[in-house]
Amino acid sequence: MKPLRHLSPLLILGTLSGALATARTPNIVVLYSDDAGYADFGFQPECRPEMKKLTPNIDRIATEGARFTDAYMSGCVCSPSRAGLMTGVYQQRYGYDNNLPPGTKDGLPLDVTFGSKRLQKLGYRTGLIGKWHLGYPEAFHPNKRGFDWFYGLLQGSRPYHAMDKASPHRVILENNTPTKEEGYVTDRFGDAACRFIRESREKPFYLFVSFTSPHGPLQPKEEDLKRLGHIDEKKRKNYAGLIVSLDDNVGKILKCLETEGLADDTVVIFTNDNGGQTGTGADNTPLQGKKGTLYEGGVRVPCAVRWPGKIQPGSVVRDPVIALDLTPTFVELAGGTVEDSWKLDGVSILGHLTGRKEELAERPLFWRQHGSTGDRAMRLGSWKLTHPRSKGQAPMLFNLSEDIGESTDLATKKPEVLQSMLTRLDAWEAELMEPRWGPGSPGKKK
């Protein structure tokens, strides 16, 4: 096999399909953390010293597979980033710039097709465990959007410990049925993932485990805090406690795959839903910004992928990739074909299996929040344009290959690069809707 270290994801993930001609299509497991910091996992070279040894199970995915250095979400907050990942389409195209407000009667539009629905049609059993945050009314329920089994909450967050009386959108549901308030939420999601795996051996499966950890509230288990005596600052310690529990349950899921004899036939991806929330203890070193901003610290995320025997351990992917790429990649991994009529913004990586392209073709990546008067950004190659319109600031230009922290604005030194990118960003934005709710939506006070 051609060595995969430092190659593009086209070859690394393309090689994943090498077994498809001779074996059942692989299972797919996505492990999705919430609000975690870029520097808070041991597999990240920038990992903070106090966190370095706290995530051995998550780190295994990278050391036994590939680590992505330039992985992005299409949103900088929870709900929009999920909308983009689940569909393969920039969520702003259908007015999903902002987080879904609790209790709203709207959601991800019903005429937008989820990747899970496409995988169902390709013979996959599909499961969603954990946080949904894409619509509350029955028509928007996970079971209606392509998931055979749902075990989780509809809203964006909830306490980690049992509640005296959980609201309908915070109670943990099994499909449509409320479950008993008991146990620790992260553990419950890990256990549910193992249950799904054990019950899905008869056909290939797609499992999306949407942990709420380490999103607030900061409620670690006492036994986990006892493992963190080396961290003095209280908020950081409580945050680390949530990370420890997350890692334990990732380990539980990896162990279940091994016990069931499925590890070699399963693609496992770990990533996070947006930039780290520094307000609750996350660390995004060396990136500027945090959750809710369009600087690198708001949209660049940790990401690793493993498939034993198919990805060379320790591989590093440096090409920019975005969560929109997952849906078309999964479709081709499942033996399907991405149709032009789907109008996906993400690209499938598996089409390059033959090595016709050894590098991912350069393409623009775009971001926007809060509509046509809100902030926007774009990356093309090493160039990053960041435009904080909401603050009345002019567009800024950064060279990420030399300045990952976006500290030196080159807009006046590279006006031709700036103008070229602005022209492409304007053209993309002209294709978008205004937000359906929240800041920038019609009738919303500015």
pLDDT of 157-168, one tens digit each?
999 999 999 999
Report which of residues 9 and 273 the model is more confident about. Answer: 273
In a domain, 437, yes or no: no
- 117 and 221 housed in the same domain: yes
- Indicate if the pLDDT at residue 331 is higher than 90: yes
- 140 and 177 housed in the same domain: yes
- Helix 234-259 / helix 56-63 crossing angle, nearest 10 deg: 60
- 48 and 141 housed in the same domain: yes
- Indicate if the pLDDT at residue 3 is higher than 60: no
Instruction: Please give the pLDDT value at position 130.
Output: 98
- 283 and 416 housed in the same domain: no
Average pLDDT across the chain, whole number: 92
- 414 and 299 housed in the same domain: no
Specify the CATH number for the domain of residue 268: 3.40.720.10
The secondary structure of 269-337, three-state, reads: EEEECCCCCHHHCCCCCCCCCCCCCCCHHHHEECEEEECCCCCCCCEEECCCEEHHHHHHHHHHHCCCC
Integer Cα distance of 141 and 17 in angstroms = 32
- Indicate if the pLDDT at residue 256 is higher than 50: yes
In a domain, 324, yes or no: yes
In a domain, 174, yes or no: yes
Judge whether 78 counts as a catalytic residue.
Answer: yes
- Quick one: average pLDDT of 385-400? 96
Q: How many helices (H) and strands (E) does the chain have?
A: 10, 17
Integer Cα distance of 145 and 9 in angstroms = 28
- Indicate if the pLDDT at residue 12 is higher than 70: no
- 288 and 389 housed in the same domain: no
Give the domain-ending residue among 352, 376, 404: 352
Instruction: Please give the pLDDT value at position 307.
Output: 82
Report which of residues 443 and 276 the model is more confident about. Answer: 276
User: Which of 212, 175, 207 lies closest to 194, judged by CA?
Assistant: 207
In a domain, 445, yes or no: no
Q: Which one of 76, 78, 194, 303 is the catalytic residue?
A: 78
- Indicate if the pLDDT at residue 209 is higher than 60: yes
- 40 and 163 housed in the same domain: yes
In a domain, 415, yes or no: yes
- Indicate if the pLDDT at residue 4 is higher than 60: no
Mean pLDDT check: name the lowest of 76-90, 186-200, 352-366.
Answer: 352-366
- Indicate if the pLDDT at residue 416 is higher than 50: yes
- Indicate if the pLDDT at residue 382 is higher than 70: yes
- Quick one: average pLDDT of 260-277? 97
Find all residues with CB under 8 Å of 99, minimum gap 6, and list them: 77, 78, 79, 80, 133, 156, 438
- Indicate if the pLDDT at residue 358 is higher than 90: no
In a domain, 2, yes or no: no
**27-33 vs 266-272, strand pairing mode:** parallel
In a domain, 239, yes or no: yes
- 395 and 259 housed in the same domain: no
- 288 and 379 housed in the same domain: no
Instruction: Please give the pLDDT value at position 268.
Output: 95
Instruction: Please give the pLDDT value at position 167.
Output: 95
39-44 contacts, C-beta under 8 A, 24 or more apart: 39/276, 39/283, 39/284, 39/285, 39/286, 40/240, 40/243, 40/276, 40/282, 40/283, 40/302, 41/243, 41/302, 43/67, 43/302, 43/304, 44/302
Token pair belonging to 160: 């980690």
> What domain count does the chain have?
2
- 422 and 338 housed in the same domain: no
Judge whether 370 counts as a catalytic residue.
Answer: no
Residue 231: what are its φ and ψ, rounded to 5°?
-110, 120
Q: Which one of 47, 76, 133, 256 is the catalytic residue?
A: 133
Give residue 379's domain range.
365-429
Tokens 């961290």 belong to: 231
- 256 and 284 housed in the same domain: yes
- 275 and 228 housed in the same domain: yes
- Indicate if the pLDDT at residue 324 is higher than 70: yes
Integer Cα distance of 362 and 364 in angstroms = 7
- Quick one: average pLDDT of 195-204? 95
Specify the CATH number for the domain of residue 370: 3.30.1120.10
- Indicate if the pLDDT at residue 1 is higher than 60: no
In a domain, 274, yes or no: yes
Which tens digit of pLDDT belongs to each residue from 119-141? Answer: 999 999 999 999 999 999 999 99
